[in-house]
Amino acid sequence: MIVVTGAAGFIGSCLVSRLNKAGYDDIVVVDDFSKTEKDGNLENKTLVAKVGRMDFIPWLKEFGNEVDFIYHIGARTDTTEFDVEIFNKLNLNYSKDVWNLCVTYNIPLVYASSAATYGLGENGYKDDHSIIEKLKPLNPYGDSKNDFDKWALKQIKENKENQPPFWAGLKFFNVYGPNEYHKGRMASVIFHAFHQINKTGGMKLFRSHNPDYTDGGQLRDFVYVKDVVEVCLYLKESSPASGLYNLGTGISRTFLDLTKNTFKSMEKEENISFIDTPEDIRDKYQYFTEADMTKLIDSGFDKGFHSLEEGVKDYVTNYLMEEKYY
């Protein structure tokens, strides 16, 4: 059996779909299934069982011998939440339990880390284990992801036997694509642009509050979710060296690029204006991210990534316009 946590969410549900396409039908999905707004993400997927998020650790203790692989994608991902205890419970400690049981039952593990761990990028965006202790995330979400990365590396340093037979922590950059209908404020800028353009005919972007960047010139490494799940499948089937891996495209693009491509894909005339960045996130706003993808590519991943133009067009025309799921 393959387990996917966070399976009713954005990346998790796309991963279940990709696994099905690759011929894997023995999938156990883990999530908080009380949130009905995510139900559409798992429609028409082939599964063998659903396990509630808070029931999963006891379930794994009972059925660990039957599990072949775990994708631990589930997490609290709200970057505007500042209750540290929520992140300690749902991200840090929960992930420790998953890791320890993977060690006990000899289960390979891929888990979701985040580019939020890099903070303002003072130490660059290279997935080098030697810089993890130096990183300064900008919010409790980023802290929780970095704290787990540090904890995992500490386990191995203290005892090389205290790790799954294969593991990878994926530092997701700005992921966008189908199945994010439920994410509200935390959905991608493309999702918000599409709906705002449909409703008002225009799109409002955050104004720059940094003199080094023009309005709309803020840069992000936008990565299409179809590429993300391709990497997840590669890690399962190829088992390269264990460790932390960046998962972006390696090319940063501006929010203006993204928005203009959304207008183009919708075949609508550009109408872009700017508003102040909300004060609750202004002083913790990343103006630049760009993944160093050397490690993953050198490990043997050779499928490449969608360009921003290709990804936006596919997302807008085949999913958002059709209100379809992946």
pLDDT in tens, 124-160: 999 999 999 999 998 888 888 999 999 999 999 988 8
- Classify residue 277 as exposed, middle or buried by CB count within 10 Å of its CB (0-12, 13-18, 19+): middle
DSSP 157-174: HH-TTSS-SSEEEEEE-E
Tokens linked to 265? 């894909």
The whole-number pLDDT of residue 77 equals 58
Distance of CA 142 to the CA centre of its chain: 12
Tokens linked to 191? 């999702």
Summarised one tens digit per residue, pLDDT across range 171-183 is 999 999 999 999 8
Local structure of 325: helix, strand or coil: coil
Q: What is the DSSP letter of 276?
A: P
In the chain, DSSP assigns E strands to 2-5, 27-31, 49-52, 69-72, 109-114, 167-172, 174-176, 203-206, 219-220, 222-224, 243-247, 253-254, 272-275
The whole-number pLDDT of residue 186 equals 84
Respond yes or no: is residue 141 known to be catalytic: yes
The whole-number pLDDT of residue 75 equals 75
The whole-number pLDDT of residue 3 equals 98
Please give the model's pTM, rounded to 2 decimal places: 0.94
The whole-number pLDDT of residue 206 equals 93
Domains of the chain: 2-175+222-249+291-305 (3.40.50.720), 180-219+252-290+311-320 (3.90.25.10)
Residues in the chain, pLDDT under 70: 76-89
- Which residues have a Cβ under 8 Å from the Cβ of 271 and sit 6 or more positions away? 197, 201, 202, 203, 263
Q: Let me know how long the chain is.
A: 326
- Which residues have a Cβ under 8 Å from the Cβ of 62 and sit 6 or more positions away? none
Tokens linked to 148? 């787990």
Q: What is the DSSP letter of 322?
A: T
- Which residues have a Cβ under 8 Å from the Cβ of 311 and sit 6 or more positions away? 176, 177, 222, 224, 226, 227
The whole-number pLDDT of residue 161 equals 85
The whole-number pLDDT of residue 286 equals 84
Closest CA to 191 of 319, 29, 38: 319
Respond yes or no: is residue 183 known to be catalytic: yes
Pairing of strands 253-254, 109-114: unpaired
Bridge partners, residue 213, by sequence: none
Catalytic residue among 126, 183, 284, 313: 183
Q: Rounded to whole angstroms, what are the CA distances from 245 to 8, 32, 49, 118, 123?
A: 24, 27, 29, 13, 16
The whole-number pLDDT of residue 59 equals 97
In 92-182, DSSP assigns E strands to 109-114, 167-172, 174-176
Catalytic residue among 141, 224, 245, 319: 141
